Structure 1
Amino acid sequence: MSKLIFIFLAFIPLLCTSFTPERPSDRRVLVLLDDFAIKSSHSLFFNSLKSRGFDLHFHLADDPKIALQRYGQYLYDALILFSPTVERFGGSIDAAAILDFVDSGHDLIVAADSNASDLIREIATECGVDFDEDLAAMVVDHSGYAVSATEGDHTLIASDDFIKSDVILGSKKIEAPVLFQGIGHSLNPTNRLVLKALSASPSAFSANPKSKLTSPPSLTGSSISLVSVIQARNNARILVSGSLSMFSNRFFRSGVQKAGSPTKHEKSGNEQFFTELSKWVFHERGHLKALQLQHHKVGEASEPAIYRINDDLEFSVEIFEWSGTSWEPYVADDVQVQFYMMSPYVLKTLSTNGKGRYFTSFKVPDVYGVFQFKVEYEKLGYTSLSLSKQIPVRPFRHNEYERFIPAAYPYYGAAFSMMAGFFIFTAVHLYNK
């Protein structure tokens, strides 16, 4: 009995730090490595996660004891794959298990390189990212290379073509270019969920740097993505990088000067880039929640069970954004509500008080049936919101119509004139000799 109590007490910290709707940032992170040397060579990146409260669990990718779930419950909130050469994961993990992990709403970081295995390529492809099919290919740029690159070998690239999104990369501008050395990839054109977080320059191409080009490269210019991000429909987030070296201490600390630029930066933008990007991937930024969806008639406070056509109503909802430590009011001018039955009968942009509350008022359409209040909000970098509440709308009862409807006055006049004419005709017919 005492042993069971000890096991329960050991699991309490695990349960308290796990992912919850009230605290959406990932806490328990499984890190799979090709070699434990990566733990020290990439320690700056790992330490930045630990300093923000993440609990990292390091294992070799082929460790036979690793598992993502036990007894139907996931043991981790996020997964980092720093094992580009792994041919087969250990334990119960495989490509299908990782994709199920993402389908369950968990987050993923995948780092590849020029030696990326078919397993890593398969996972990336399922996420909407296609690495160059040439196994020896690397991204080469004879114009945008880093000045410190080996003469003639321009595979060390200094890129500053970032995604234009403050919610993904933070509001502070990344001044220094990011160092990249690895394999390029393209985005699946049928997948609208994947975005280029860092792109190659127009002069870049993907090819084997040790052999002579005999045919046009399959990937060229700005169509080459160096780092991509995906937000799935279930709001799980994925980062795919074509370079494991990008996360290394050496690249974090290196000075950088882009070819053709007179400015030399004492430190590359890698650390700031991946710190900000990891905040987004792990839901420390751009995570929204909505609550208190309310509606009622104008002048009333309680929510009715049914509306009547042409009623005036008020609608409100509260939206907050997770800042990494607390929920803060979300302020925007593009949140809309639909009053919906088969199609929107009313579409209104909501006003806000700047404290997270959004509101509007409108008249119920002169159509009865079962309607829905729908708030469907999608914005680049933010988790999507989809809320709905059903409400029936009835017509007027027989005793609720106006006694005399102004629009019917001509008909009233016609009826009474007919009656008067009939009376006059009858009188004339009876008494006329």
Structure 2
Amino acid sequence: MRSFLSFLLLGFWGACVHALSSSGSRLLVVLEDDQSSYSALWADLKARGYDITFESPKSDKLSLFEHGEKSFDHLLILPTKSKGLGPALAPKLLLDFINDEGNILLALSGKSSTPSSISSLLLEMDLHISPDRSSIVVDHFNYDTLSATDKHDVLLLPLPNPTRPDVKSFFSGEGVLALPRPVGQSLGNASPLLAPVVRAPETAYSYNVKDDSPSAEDSFVTGSQLALVSTMQARNSARFTVLGSAEALEDKWFSASVKSPAAKAAVTSVNREFAKQLTGWTFQELGVLRVGKIEHYLSDEYGNIEGEVNPTIYRIKNDVTFDIELSEYEFDKWVPFKVPSKDDIQLEFSMLSPFHRLNLEPKTRTQNSTIFGVTFTTPDQHGIFSFRVNYNRPFLTNIEEKHEVTVRHFAHDEYPRSWSIRGGWVWIAGLWAVIGGFLAFVLVWLYSAPVPSAEANIRKVK
């Protein structure tokens, strides 16, 4: 019995060590073709601790939910030859999977038409593909001269740089990325949850491979309007990624020799490293933020604590310090979170609207977290206030913290005396000047009797 318990504890410890994703290790792969084409990808995922289940979209055993709970933590959908994905992968069920904090990596391919159910799912995300669903992206200036001499449908692109200077990049690096026969996507402008990862070059365009004469005149979209890899992070931090080229994950492209028209020599593609970055981000091995302890307390102007931690009530014009601890997950460990350049984490001290909006500065750093803090003075307004930290950035999980406190006015014996207010010295001086003048007038009036005249003295003698 004792050895059996030891075996269970050892197995649990091993699962904790090897389950590197912060949201779970259960991965469902949906595909119809031979698994051996992606053997390197499966080996990398298993080495990172994923428990992979392979199912065909037509399988009767396929189910995303069991007893009201999701059966898998992550879902990888590879292209299928059938016109649909079946009832188990209907768009509504995939949306329910995302709403239940499941992550999805959807790979498209120009070899076959995109199923209508996939198009409907993408429309729900405000992602659009070509209406004919058989278009691919070509570029006559950035293609592989070794494998796509005539069709120019294997695009060679550098690893993407950050989209903005205030956004942390998880996909950048050195090397050339090969994307065979990619399906382009157009991102809607109305959703703040969408973010492109890899955009097509300005000379690229989308066309239907079934047309006899490829032309860019009636193209779906052209140039950098085309996204070859795009992402959507839901408000519950679930992630949905669209990879326009499923062939980029195949073994032959993980270390293929490629050469662009402008290059002097062939180079090795970095598809394997990009696949690790893309799957790592989608399956929440990267860009996951965790909130540790949150403290607020009375302090002096330098931030030194002067009262209990996390009180429920403050007074107007108190000096208050707010601290929050943040960590970031990187593949297999929590590390201190570092704010990207030209970006800030802000604290709002608000009632109906913010009275203070302040930048949180890093104060101390531990082995796996950074403590950010700021000291401020509560406003001259009593009521119910809240400390709010709402940090939403592309490629990072959302942080939304709200802690309410009461701010009271001065008690009767807490108001400063009049003589301790320098601004009142003028009025106090004026008051005492009036009092002094009145007393002087009374004294002068009392002791300044009129001198009696001569007639009054004669009458007094008689």
| C-alpha distance 161-128 of structure 1, shift in aligned 2 (>3 A) | farther
TM-score calculated relative to the size of structure 2: 0.83
Partner Cα distance (2:169, 2:51) in 1: 22
Residue 126 of structure 1 is matched in structure 2 by: 124
- Letter aligned with residue 97 of structure 2: F
Tell me the CA shift for residue 358 of structure 1: 1.3
Matched, 1:342 2:344: no
Determine the C-alpha separation between the residues in 2 that align with 1:403 and 1:361: 27
Q: Which amino acid aligns with 1:94?
A: A
Sort the Cα spacing of 1:25 and 1:18 in 2 relative to 1 into closer, same or farther, 3 A: farther
CA deviations over 1:279-334 (Å, ceiling 9, x no partner): 11111111111121101111425222211111112221111111222222213372
> Residue 89 and residue 285 in structure 1: after superposition, are their counterparts in 2 closer, same or farther (change >3 A)?
same
Relative to structure 1, is the Cα distance of residues 372 and 19 closer, same or farther in structure 2, using a 3 angstrom cutoff?
farther
Cα distance between partner residues in 2 of 1:263 and 1:343: 60
8 Å Cα contact 1:206-1:220 kept in structure 2 = yes
Percent identity over paired residues: 28
- Runs of 5+ in structure 2 lacking a partner? 1-7, 300-304, 451-462
Q: Scaled by the length of structure 1, what TM-score is found?
A: 0.88
Among residues 43, 57, 62, which one is paired with 2:58 in the alignment? 62
**Do the aligned partners of 1:86 and 1:119 also contact (CA within 8 Å) in 2?**
no
Q: 1:415 aligns with which of 394, 410, 431?
A: 431
The alpha-carbon deviation at position 55 of structure 1 amounts to: 0.8
Structure 1 position 254, deviation (Å)? 1.9
* Greater Cα shift, 50-59 or 133-142: 133-142
CA contact (8 A) 2:143 2:155 kept: yes
Q: Distance in 2 between matches of 1:62 and 1:251?
A: 28
Higher mean C-alpha displacement, 402-411 vs 221-230? 402-411
**Offset of 1:128 from its aligned partner?**
2.7
Q: Which string of whole-angstrom CA distances, capped at 9 and with x for unpartnered residues, describes residues 224-250 of structure 1?
A: 111112222211111102222111112
- For 2:335, the equivalent position in structure 1 comes to 328
Structure 1: gaps spanning 5 or more residues: 1-8
Give the alignment of 1:86-105 within 5 angstroms: 86-90=82-86, 92-105=88-101
CA shift, 1:263, in A, is 3.1
Match of 1:278 in 2: 279
Greater mean alpha carbon deviation, residues 418-427 or residues 279-288: 418-427
Note the C-alpha offset of 1:77.
Answer: 0.7
Aligned match of 1:314: 321
RMSD: 2.8
Q: CA deviation at 1:429?
A: 6.7
Per-residue deviation at 1:426? 5.6
Secondary structure at the residue paired with 1:286? Answer: strand
| Alpha-carbon displacement from aligned partner over 1:388-431 (angstroms, at most 9, x marks no partner) | 21111111111111222332223333333444445555666778
* CA–CA distance in structure 2, aligned partners of residues 43 and 350 of structure 1: 46
Contact 1:64 1:91 in 2 (8 A): no
Do the aligned partners of 1:18 and 1:27 also contact (CA within 8 Å) in 2? no
One of 221, 227, 233 as aligned partner of 1:219: 221
Show the counterpart of 1:288. Answer: 289
Whether 1:175 aligns to 2:175 is: yes
Q: Deviations over 1:345-380 (max 9, x none)?
A: 222222222331112212222222211111122333
Output the amino acid matched with 2:95: L
Matched, 1:235 2:237: yes
Partner of 1:300: 306
Deviation at 1:110, TM superposition (A): 0.5
CA-to-aligned-CA distance 1:45-94 (integer Å, 9 cap, x gap): 12211110011111001212211111111111111111344434345431
SS across alignment from 2:432: helix
Check the 8 A contact 1:84/1:112 in 2, yes or no. no
Are the structure 2 counterparts of residues 62 and 268 from structure 1 closer, same or farther at C-alpha, using a change threshold of 3 Å? same
Measured after TM superposition, the shift of residue 177 of structure 1 is 2.9
Matches within 5 A, 1:11-410: 24-35=22-33, 37=34, 39-90=35-86, 92-114=88-110, 115-160=113-158, 162-164=160-162, 167-170=168-171, 173-209=173-209, 210-213=211-214, 215-265=217-267, 267-298=268-299, 299-303=305-309, 304-332=311-339, 334-352=344-362, 353-355=364-366, 356-404=370-418, 405-410=421-426
Structure 1 residues 15-68: Cα deviation after superposition (integer angstroms, max 9, x where no partner): x76999x97243101111133x1x111121122111100111110012122111
Q: Which segment drifts farther, 190-199 or 156-165?
A: 156-165
Quick one: distance in 2 between partners of 1:184 and 1:374?
39
Instruction: Give the conservation status (yes or no) of the 8 Å contact 1:62–1:88.
Output: no
Q: Secondary structure of 2:213's partner?
A: coil
- Once the two structures are TM-superposed, the CA of residue 167 in structure 1 deviates from its matched residue by 4.9
**Residues 86 and 294 (structure 1 numbering): CA distance in 2 closer, same or farther, change over 3 Å?**
farther
Larger Rg: 2
* Pairs aligned (count): 418
- Counterpart-to-counterpart distance in 2, 1:23 and 1:225: 27
2:5 maps to which residue?
A: none
CA distance in 2, matches of 1:400, 1:238: 56
| Counterpart Cα distance in 1 of 2:79 and 2:246 | 9
Please tell me the residue identity of whatever aligns with 2:30: L
Secondary structure of the residue aligned to 1:245 is: helix
Kept in 1: contact 2:195–2:232 (CA 8 A): yes
